[in-house]
Structure formats: C-alpha cells, structure tokens
Amino acid sequence: MFRKILIANRGEVALRVMRACRRLGVATIAICSTGDREALHARLADERVCVGPDRPEDSYLNVPAILSAALSRGADAVHPGYGLLAESGDFAEACERSGLAFIGPRVRHLRLMGDKPRARRIVEKAGVRVLPGSPEPLADVADARAIADAIGYPLLVKPAAGGGGRGLGVVRDAEALAPAFAVARREGERVFGNDLVYVELYLESARHVEIQLIADRERRVVLLGERDCSVQRQRRKLVAEGPALDLPRGVRAKLAAAATTAAAAVGYTNVGSVEFLVDDEGAFYFIEMNTRVQVEHAVSEALTNVDLVQEGIRVAAGEPLSIRPEDVVVRGHAIECRIHAECPAGAPTPQRTVRAFHAPGGLGIRVESALEVGDVVAGDDVLAKVLAHGVTRAEALARLRAALPELVIEGVPTDLALHRRVLAHPDFAGGPVHTTWLDVS
C-alpha cells in the first residue's frame, strides 16, 4: 500500500479521496492555489502545498508544479479525483515518468477511451452497438457535413476529447451545423486542450444508463450495478439513481455484459463507468467510457456498500480487489441530486460569497460538499450532492424530498428549487423519464 498520496484536485472530491486514504492509513498532501490556502480540503489534509495563482491553468492544471509538490513532499502516488487532470493521459504519463503511481487507469486506457471516436471503433469491433457517427475526429465542418449527408439529422456534435456535457450541441438541420461545430471546437480546446470534434446520430427520448465497474491488474472485472442519469438539463446531469427503473426484460443483463466487453476490449484496470443510451424498445448504444471515479459514484456505493475510491487505490497499489463478483449485492434504491450554482443564460458569471451553509441529515442521507461560509463561488460550480438511500424507491424519494428543504445555501443563486420541482413532479415519481424530459416539460 502507498505511504503518502498527493490529491491533485480540490473541493468535495478532494475530501472524498482524503477520507478513503485516512481509512487506509495513508497520509495525504493537498494542493491549493494562492486564493484557497484555507479551503477545507487544504486544511484537512496532512500536508498542503500551494502550486500557483488562482487561475486553475496556473495551479490545479499546472503539471510541473503538481509533480514538484509530490516529489518534494515524498509522495509515492497521485490521485486525480474527477475533472481537471483526471482523464489526461499526458498527466498520467508524466506521473509515471517521475516515479509516481497514477491512481487510475493505465495511460493507454486514458488515451484509447478518451479519444471518443476511437473508443467507439474499439467497442463496436468487440460487438457492442454504437450509434452511426464519424469514424474519426473531425477538424473541419465540411467533414461533418459529409457525415450528416450520410446518416441524416438530428445530430449530436461533441468535442472528441470531451466529457461532462461540455460543448455538446443537438443539430436538427444543416444550417445549425456550423455554429454547433464551432462551439464544440472552442469548448474542446478550452476545457480539454483538444479542438477536434465528432458527430453522431442523436437519439430522441432515450434514457442515459451507466454501468459502474472496477477491474484489477489481473483483469478481473467486478460490476456494481447501474445508474440512471436521465434527468438532465441541456445535457448536464442533475439527478442520478439506481437501480434503473423498468428496464425491459433482459436489458439489465445485456447492459452488464456489454460494459464488461467494452472494458475487456482494452484490458481496462481501476474504476470506470460505461455509459449507454437506451431507447423505448430496450435497444441500447455505447456512448463513452469514463476512465475515472464518476461524480455519481456515491449512488453505487450506497447500493453495494463498496468503497469505490478505496478499491481504486488498492488496485493502483498492485493489490487485488477485495471483492468478488459474487460478493456484490444491490440493496434498496438510491437517488442523488447534484446542486449547482446558477447563472442566468447569457449572463456573466460574477463571483459570489457564501453567506450561510447548512447540510441536511437524517436516516439514509449522505451529503458530499466542501462548501463553507465565506467561500467564493463562480459560474456553475457543483455546490453539494445530496443522496438518499432507502429499502424502496418510494422510501428513498420520500427521504430526499424531506432532506432538500434542510439544505441552506445563501449568498449564491442555486438550482435547488429546480431539484425540488423534479422530485415533486408526477412524471419523475412514476418514472422513468428520458434525457430531454426536463427541457420540454
């Protein structure tokens, strides 16, 4: 097992990794910028190192500074959490070249599955269905037009190295293709350092279902059930729950088999999630593989009582998984709301200061947040995740409905009211809903 881990992230995910390390008896190093030296994640770590000025590009994305901090403080491994550098093959390779273990998939897995068109080709060759789309990343809108002429509209235009809904756009006619392509290129370059784009057929009224898995270095794959993340606004996930409701007979087992096939096709190791779109008839299509701990991982942990972050650390340390496929039992139902800072469409994103914060509690409630009074929030940051677990979906939903009014965040506009409306809506209560339900309801 590792002796000391540097956590190359901030906020609630840094706290989540820190807790897992503490339970494993592993010391932690937090990185911080000049502006958040006193942030919660920095204060609670065993050590903290400032790696640069406030801008993420100068601190949390500053690879030389992060590696220097890890080496100077005697770390033997780096955990990237999710977001920022978590899916960067270049960062993982830089860690390994510096003699540091990267807690996550191997470099080649990050690069294979991070290239979305290439990932599609790999899993399709292995027998997993994908939607029609561009076989290669596209650098020119003329190439996108040729694909559109071949497969038709509507299309989904996406950054080739993207994730998290960044830069996605639905195109319903030829006139809208060029603007959407430009947005995807710009966001891809800004967020992921890659301006290539790919397009695929857009599936209307589909559900977003993802399979959670973890694999060790002996290629033993353990599945931890599925999550339904269909409640989205403009393709950004708001609510995740598991197990998925009312899947047609046999589809759950087929999804699990397809996820295993996708992981085996690249010899995947560590924690990951395979995402699918499922239509009304139960046909499903591979979207992508997330080569990291998912934001929604707590749903799977609540259902299986497996600590995914700890398992990922063990695998990276060369240890076998502590669980076997037959040990995994999905119990009850879990629903999680992801609460964001809000900014009106088209408005600037001014920084705002948190004046009050109170997290809810109660039986079956789990809250993930690093928010404190005095914190400065900008843009559409995730402020908190509130999860409820119950024996039945009805019980989990009742607990979550009771918990959300207890969540107090003052000084920052949030989408908390939207979450309450979603939980109270008869469509959601009756479930399931599709990915565009919230945009059209």
What tokens were used for 209? 């279902």
Q: CB of 310 within 8 A of CB of 397?
A: no
Residue whose C-alpha is closest to residue 104's, from 118, 119, 121, 91 = 91
Q: Which uninterrupted H or E stretch holds 394?
A: helix 393-403
The upper half-sphere exposure of residue 152, i.e. CA atoms within 13 Å in the direction of its Cβ, equals 2
Alpha-carbon Rg for the chain, nearest whole angstrom, is 21
- Please identify which of the residues 106, 120, 292, 314 carries the catalytic annotation: 292
Under 8 Å CB-to-CB from 348, ≥6 apart: which residues?
none
d(CA 335, CA 366): 10
Q: CB of 275 within 8 A of CB of 206?
A: no
Report the amino acid identity of residue 226.
E
**Has 185 been annotated as catalytic?**
no
- 3-class SS at 173? coil
Q: CB of 101 within 8 A of CB of 81?
A: no
Helix then strand then coil, % of the chain, to nearest 5: 35, 25, 40
Token look-up 């949030």 returns: 414
Instruction: Please return the burial class of 412, using the count of CB atoms within 10 Å of its CB with bins 0-12, 13-18 and 19+.
Output: buried
d(CA 386, CA 374): 21
Pairing outcome for strands 236-242 and 333-340: antiparallel
Q: Which uninterrupted H or E stretch holds 280?
A: none
Indicate which residues carry an active-site annotation.
292
